[in-house]
Amino acid sequence: MIHFLMLLNRQGKTRLAKWYSPFTQKEKTRFSREIGNMILNRPQKLCNFLEWKSYKIIFKRYASLFFIVCADPTDNELLMLEIIHLFVETLDRHFVNVCELDLIFNFHKAYFILDELLMSGELQETSEKVILRIIEQQDRLQENVVEGNFAKIEI
C-alpha cells in the first residue's frame, strides 16, 4: 500500500502531496522535511530506494522534480517506479511537456489525474488512455458548467 506520494522540486519545496494514511499535520510536515533532506542530499549514483522508519521510500527524478512514494516494506519497488512513471507520462500527455509551473497553476488537474491512477493508496487504473479520456471528459464537463450549457453534457 502506498502511504503517500509527494512531488518536490530541487529546492525542497513540496509541489504536490497526497496522503493515503492518517498522519497528523505535524507528522506530515516532519516527514516531508526529513524525506526531502534525505533525497536532496543523496548522490545521484545511488539507487532510488530507501529504508525509512518502517516504510520504504521509492523516488525518481524527472527534470527538476522528485516524485516520491512511501510504501509498505513488502511492496515491490519496481512496481512503485512504474506507477511513478505512469503518473509522469500521463501528466506529460495531458499538459504536453509538463513542467513545474503546470503543476503549480493547474494543481487541481494533477490531483484529478492522481485520483484516477490511485485510490486509497492502491493502483486503480493502469491504462494511460483511459485516464486521459476520463480527464478530458471532466474538462468538457467543467467547461459546459462554466458556460451554462447543461443540456450538452455527454459522458
Note down pLDDT in tens along the chain; length 155 residues: 999 999 999 999 999 999 999 999 999 999 999 999 999 999 989 999 999 999 999 999 998 999 999 999 999 999 999 999 999 999 999 999 899 999 999 999 999 999 999 999 999 999 999 999 999 999 898 888 777 766 555 55
**What are the cell numbers at 72?**
509498505
Given the C-alpha cell 493502483, which residue does it identify?
A: 123
Given the C-alpha cell 510504501, which residue does it identify?
A: 71
Q: Annotate 112-131 with b (16+ C-beta within 10 A) or e (fewer).
A: bbbebbbeebeeebeebeeb
Distances (CA, A) of 3 to 6, 35, 85: 10, 13, 18
Given the C-alpha cell 525509512, which residue does it identify?
A: 52
Q: What angle do CA 55, 107, 24 make, to 5 degrees?
A: 40
Q: How many CA atoms lie within 13 A of 55 on its CB side?
A: 16
Other CB atoms within a 10 A radius of the CB of residue 105 amount to 9
